[in-house]
Structure 1
Amino acid sequence: MGPKRLVDAVLFDTFGTVVDWRSGISRAVAEFAGDAVDTDEFALAWRSRYQPSMKPIRDGDRDFVDLDVLHRENLDTTAAEFGLPLAGDPSAADHLNRAWHRLPAWPDSVAGLTEVKRDFIVGPLSNGHTALLTNMAKHAGLPWDVIIGSDLTRTYKPDPNAYLRTAEILRLPPERVMLCAAHNLDLDAARDAGLRTAFIPRPTEYGPSQRHDLHATSAWDVIARDITDLASQLREHAS
Structure 2
Amino acid sequence: MSGKLPRAIVFDVFGSVVDWRTSLIDELTAFGAERRIEANWVKLVDDWRGEYIPSLKKVYKGELPWMTLDDLHRASLETLVAGQGIEGLTEADLAYMTRGWHRLKPWPDSVAGLRRLKQGFIIAPLSNGNVSLLVDMAKGADLPWDLVLGCDLFGRYKPAPETYLGAARLLGLEPGEVMMAAAHNGDLKAAKALGLMTAFFARPTEYGPRQEYDLAPTGDWSYVASDIEDLARQLGV
CA RMSD of aligned residues (A): 1.5
Give the Å deviation of 1:215.
0.6
Residues 1:231 and 1:65: Cα distance change in structure 2 (over 3 Å): same
Note the residue ranges of structure 1 that are not aligned, 5 or more in a row.
none
CA distance in 2: counterparts of 1:9 and 1:59, whole angstroms: 31
CA distance in 1: counterparts of 2:61 and 2:198, whole angstroms: 25
Aligned residues between the structures: 232
Q: What does 1:169-184 correspond to in 2, within 5 Å?
A: 169-184=170-185
CA distance in 1: counterparts of 2:62 and 2:43, whole angstroms: 31
Q: Deviations over 1:69-122 (max 9, x none)?
A: 000001011112221136x41111100110000000000000000001110000
Note the residue ranges of structure 2 that are not aligned, 5 or more in a row.
none
> 1:100 aligns to what SS in structure 2?
helix
> 2:207 aligns to what SS in structure 1?
coil
Aligned residue in 1 for 2:149: 148
Give the Å deviation of 1:40.
1.8
Sequence identity (%) = 46
Aligned residue in 1 for 2:15: 16
Q: Deviations over 1:149-186 (max 9, x none)?
A: 11111110111111111111111111111010000011
Kindly indicate whether the alpha-carbon contact (under 8 Å) linking 1:32 and 1:92 is maintained by their aligned counterparts in 2: no
> 1:218 aligns to what SS in structure 2?
coil
Give the Å deviation of 1:5.
5.7
With normalisation by structure 2, the TM-score equals 0.93
Aligned residue in 2 for 1:52: 54
CA distance in 2: counterparts of 1:216 and 1:46, whole angstroms: 26
CA distance in 2: counterparts of 1:135 and 1:234, whole angstroms: 28
Aligned residue in 1 for 2:102: 101
Kindly indicate whether the alpha-carbon contact (under 8 Å) linking 1:16 and 1:202 is maintained by their aligned counterparts in 2: yes
CA distance in 1: counterparts of 2:87 and 2:95, whole angstroms: 13
CA distance in 2: counterparts of 1:124 and 1:90, whole angstroms: 30
CA distance in 2: counterparts of 1:66 and 1:153, whole angstroms: 11
> 2:221 aligns to what SS in structure 1?
coil
With normalisation by structure 1, the TM-score equals 0.93
Q: Which runs of structure 1 show a deviation greater than 6 angstroms over 4 or more consecutive aligned residues?
A: none
CA distance in 2: counterparts of 1:61 and 1:96, whole angstroms: 25
